[in-house]
Structure 1
Amino acid sequence: MLGTRLSTTGRCLLAATSHVEVSGGIQKRQMGRRQPKQGKPPILPPSKKVLYHVVHAPWQKPEEVEELLWRRHAYNNAVVSLREVFRAEIAQNASHGQGIEAMKEAEALEFDELILENQKRNETKRADRESRESEATKETKRVILDEIHVELEKRNLEKKAAEEEVKRAIERSSGFVNRENLEKKILEALETPTIYDFAIDRAGNKYFVPQPVKYQEGTPTRQKGRLYDQTLGTQMGMMEEAAASGEKRQMEQ
């Protein structure tokens, strides 16, 4: 029972601590915000000080007021005189062909001349560009044709080399084994076998295995497994026979 109470008390303390931490975090986030000003309800009418604002001019001396009025009158008269002068100048220019309409016509003529000049310049540049493009096209064609020529020569050389190789192979094929000469080649191989086994001594002399006999001569041995065991280079005259047979093979090849 006591353990249950303690555990319940601990849970309450943890919950309160977490609630305080959460509320503290909310307050921290809200501290940076500016609180709005307290205003009155919108149903109430505005106060008198915000209804209107009367501007009271500062007091001036009567002499200064008269001077300012006179200066204003003189300024207005000067502006009216200048307007009349400008109107008379515009009317005179219009009568002499220098008015606004004449200026518009002159600007239109100048604009047309500039357009023509621009067209001429564009035509000149277009002709230059076409000449450059034609030269570049010719150069590109020349380079491509040169590359094609080189490639064709290379292929012709490869073709000639392949033809020569085929011709040599055809010439060598006269001694190849086929269905027609199979029996003949088998008999030749049985009659004249090619021996590739040889031994070399310390002096560099080669001792080839002698040609096998077609029929066994003498009394056959009982040990059939050692029938072909030989020690090359121990028989008398084996070296000369081997040299002679090697020369014969070279001559045949």
Structure 2
Amino acid sequence: MSGIACAVGLLSSKCILSAQPQSAGRILLQYTAVRYRRKPRWLGTAKSKLFRVPERHQQVEEEVAELKRLHNVYHTQMKAVRRFLIDEVEASKLVSRAGMVIQTPEEEASEWEQIQRINEEWNRKIGEVREKRLADEREQRKNYILERLVAKEQRDQENRERVEERVRLEKELARNYITRDNIDKAIEMALVQPMSYNFSIDLSGNIRRLGEEQNQESSN
């Protein structure tokens, strides 16, 4: 066999690992490579067997006749066994059918009515369970909706209170707003009490205005 055939045979081989217990907790692994029986078809004919013509062995006529007789006997016996098993199955079917009770039309009608009554009883019980379940679900849904409505009403009430509080604060601040009615008075107050926002705050938190700083520098 060529080198390629050997490589493919090794790659396609099966590995068997057998563990043998040893002393002191050691395990000895035995590796055995099992190769396939024949070479794969895709490798082709080996070079050493490329032009070899296999010899055709001639069988003895008595041997061929004996093999043919044994073959026919085997198939005849197997056919008899299969036929026997088929007959046994058919016989068991006939026995089971014979054991069945043949009912009259009146008995069939009575059995049908009984089955219908049982079915109606089952439907009634299942309907009661379903109605109870639906009633519980409706009650739970109703309670859930009521809770949501109460929570929404509370949120709306809180929003109204918050808006009213803001409106009240705005009304209190509106007393100091300058309107057309008190604009003259506001102008007079601004002239009498001038307000300057040009100031700074020192590290001690005191307000230092521009005029005061210039006066202090000039006095120093």
Q: Which of the pair has more CA radius of gyration?
A: 1
Question: TM-score, normalization: structure 1?
Answer: 0.42
Question: TM-score, normalization: structure 2?
Answer: 0.48
> Is the strand fraction higher in 1 or 2?
2
